[in-house]
Amino acid sequence: MRRGLELLTRVGTLTAVSSFYETEPVEFTPQPWFINCAAGLETSLPPRGLLEEMLHIEQTLGRVRTQPKGPRTLDLDILLFGDLVIDEPGLKIPHPAMPTRRFVLEPLAEIAHDVCHPLLRKTIRDLLPGLPPGQLVRRLENNPRE
């Protein structure tokens, strides 16, 4: 995770990084728990260019896509890109599953609680109470960049 964050600084400036969280797998559950965080990034790249760079970072750090939702070394997602809404093959912003995933909203709320979801018109903080039960999330550390 730290190396992934470091490599993101090659495509922009990190403006915020949440704590790291240990999170229960969803959908494909017979696997180890994940480590998640959220980061704010200022970049001059367009969304598609950022996605391509993020996929390159994943590959650089050993990601091999063998099973959907399965174990992986690193998974970088664009959750939001300002107030843009994009629905193209291979690129959907805001991330379509974001409002239903505690492992996304908990870290994101830590760094962007008042940011508004451009389709739902709710803040990240307001989306948290609507999550389905379950999806355990445990904060591991507060300053992952140190």
Catalytic residue list contains 77: yes
Report how far residue 109's alpha carbon sits from residue 105's, in angstroms, rounded to the nearest whole number: 6
Which residues are paired to 91 by β-bridges? 88
Report how far residue 66's alpha carbon sits from residue 31's, in angstroms, rounded to the nearest whole number: 14
* Contact partners, residue 4, CB within 8 Å, separation at least 6: 57, 58, 61, 74, 76
- In sign, the C-alpha dihedral spanning 50, 52, 53, 57 is positive
Catalytic residue list contains 10: no
Catalytic residue list contains 114: no
Catalytic residue list contains 65: no
φ, ψ at 141 (rounded to 5°): -155, 155
* Set 2, 3, 65, 77: catalytic member: 77
* Set 2, 65, 75, 83: catalytic member: 75
Catalytic residues: 63, 72, 75, 77
